Amino acid sequence: MIDSTLLKVVALLLLVLSFGARAQEFAATRLNNAMPILSKQHFDLAGASVEEGANINGPSVIRVPDWIPLERRASPRARYYMYFGHHKGRYIRLAWAESLEGPWRLYNTGRDIPEGKRGVLDIGDDRKLKIGQSLKIVKHVASPDVHVDHDNKRIEMYFHGPIKYKNKLCRSQKTLSANSLWGLDFSSGIKAVVLSSSYLRVFEAAGVLQGLSSSRHYTSRTTAESLVESAESEYCGNQWQGRPARFMDFSGFTQSGVGPFTPARTKIRHLGIYKADNRLHVFFTMRGHAPERILATSVMLNSGCWQCTAPQAAPVEILRAKETWEGGAVAPSPSTKGAQFELENALRDPFLFYEDDALYLFYVGGGERAIGLAQLTRTIARGREEEEEEEEEEDIFPQ
């Protein structure tokens, strides 16, 4: 006869494994009457050029901290800042609002704003901005990832663009960082340090600053604010240490209505992150999907090399285009690399915002046409209480 205690242990292990294999699921409810909270119309009303409103992407939202005086804000009524980009844009944009659903209003954008002063970081119409002795940002800036640094009372922004070192273009787009006292001008706070590849999303775990960029994980390995004059390879190389994020490698999975995940056909494009307790939730889209839509996976951060953990299940679908402005009436086709200026059946650029026990999803619809907002509700959750109860049960069993 099998010992009853052993049966309990086996049952517990099966329960733990089943939870670990299940991806966290969320139900998404579109807000603002399922209409975009920011679109080309905002640029038209501001008298901006047709080009400026033709592409909208990469939202990153913060609650304006209380320590920023009202007179130092985009408006005394501003409670939220949404930083966003243009896939080939010359400046990082900013919109402000009193509530998450809006109305959102553009800052430093429109017919009366001169070149070099638009938005919060402008590389000018010549598309060149010198930083440091030998580095230049060229062509475009995009993909802001913005954080409130309460300890130092400043706003930190990570963003990417093509980089030149001594007039030679680095091999790929790079992520840089900049800070601002009030979150309205980052141009003078850019650090002449290449951090990682593009589309970095930064977070802190176990006291270490780190980030995800497509399918790679990065950790900070230097506290230097700038680099001394050195070899080209050092300037074009990443100062943050990168390694493959194995938990984001879904090439071994297929799932009806979600896959395929074959690397030759699909690739993770943009991602957003949400850290709750000791679990990191990653929301992302994949280039090559038809339609491209928002998926999610998660990983526990309590192992020595959590980024090395192989995924236990395919990602779950969170949201796909439904509304007309999202491209819901357009026939799906495999999405392609690069900027999108025409309406397509595709969602991109998920960004997660947590406030007052509510989780929100900002996303880009119609390819890269407008920004929408949804609220997320967890439908399968393994909370802290459940984990603690399992740990307590496990402690009473013999080793």
**Picking from 4-13, 24-33, 281-290, which range would have the lowest pLDDT averaged per residue?**
4-13
Q: Name the pTM for this structure.
A: 0.86
CA atoms of 58 and 104, how far apart (whole Å)? 16
CA atoms of 309 and 322, how far apart (whole Å)? 34
Q: What is the pLDDT of residues 153-189, one digit of tens each?
A: 999 999 999 999 888 898 889 999 999 999 999 999 9
- Specify the pLDDT at position 251: 81
239 vs 40 pLDDT, higher one:
40
CA atoms of 293 and 384, how far apart (whole Å)? 29
> Which residue type does 303 have?
S
Helix (H) or strand (E) holding 391: helix 384-395
Q: What is the DSSP string of 162-222?
A: -EEETTEE-SS-EEEEEEESSSS--GGGB-S---EESS-EEEEETTEEEEEETTEEEE---
CA distances from 337 to 64, 180, 286, 289, 292 (A): 34, 32, 10, 11, 12
Contacts of 360 (CB under 8 A, 6+ apart): 31, 100, 352, 353, 354, 373, 374, 375, 376
Peptide bond into 244 cis (omega under 30): no
- Specify the pLDDT at position 47: 96
Each as own residue / partner, the long-range contacts of residues 271-276 (CB below 8 Å, 24 or more positions apart, any chain) are: 271/199, 271/201, 271/212, 271/214, 271/350, 272/201, 272/349, 272/350, 272/351, 272/352, 272/361, 273/201, 273/203, 273/212, 273/352, 274/352, 274/354, 274/359, 275/203, 275/205, 275/301
- Specify the pLDDT at position 155: 98
Question: How many structural domains does the chain have?
Answer: 1
Q: Is residue 3 part of a domain?
A: no
Tell me which residue range forms the domain holding 114. 20-395
> Which residue type does 255 have?
Q
Q: Number of C-alpha atoms within 13 angstroms, CB side, residue 333? A: 9
Confidence of residue 263 (pLDDT cuts 50, 70, 90): low
Peptide bond into 315 cis (omega under 30): no
- Specify the pLDDT at position 264: 64
Report the CATH number at residue 318.
Answer: 2.115.10.20
For residue 306, report the phi and psi dihedrals to the nearest 5 degrees: -65, -30
Q: What is the pLDDT of residues 56-85, one digit of tens each?
A: 999 999 999 999 999 999 999 999 999 999
Q: Is residue 138 part of a domain?
A: yes
Give the CA dihedral 118, 123, 125, 130, nearest 10 degrees: 150
Query: Quick count: other Cβ atoms within 10 Å of Cβ 173?
Result: 17
Three-state SS for 353? strand
Q: What is the pLDDT of residues 20-34, one digit of tens each?
A: 444 558 999 999 999
Q: Is residue 168 part of a domain?
A: yes
- Specify the pLDDT at position 379: 81
Q: What is the pLDDT of residues 319-353, one digit of tens each?
A: 999 999 999 999 999 898 888 889 999 999 999 99
Q: Which two tokens stand for residue 247?
A: 């938990």
Q: Is residue 13 part of a domain?
A: no
Q: Is residue 217 part of a domain?
A: yes
Q: Is residue 4 part of a domain?
A: no
Q: Is residue 264 part of a domain?
A: yes
- Specify the pLDDT at position 177: 95
77 vs 115 pLDDT, higher one:
77
68 vs 392 pLDDT, higher one:
68
The rounded mean pLDDT for the chain is 85
Q: Is residue 7 part of a domain?
A: no
Query: Quick count: other Cβ atoms within 10 Å of Cβ 389?
Result: 11
Confidence of residue 258 (pLDDT cuts 50, 70, 90): low
384 DSSP 8-state letter: H
- Specify the pLDDT at position 398: 28
**Picking from 131-145, 221-235, 363-377, which range would have the lowest pLDDT averaged per residue?**
221-235
Closest by CA position to 192, among listed 181, 207, 176, 169: 176
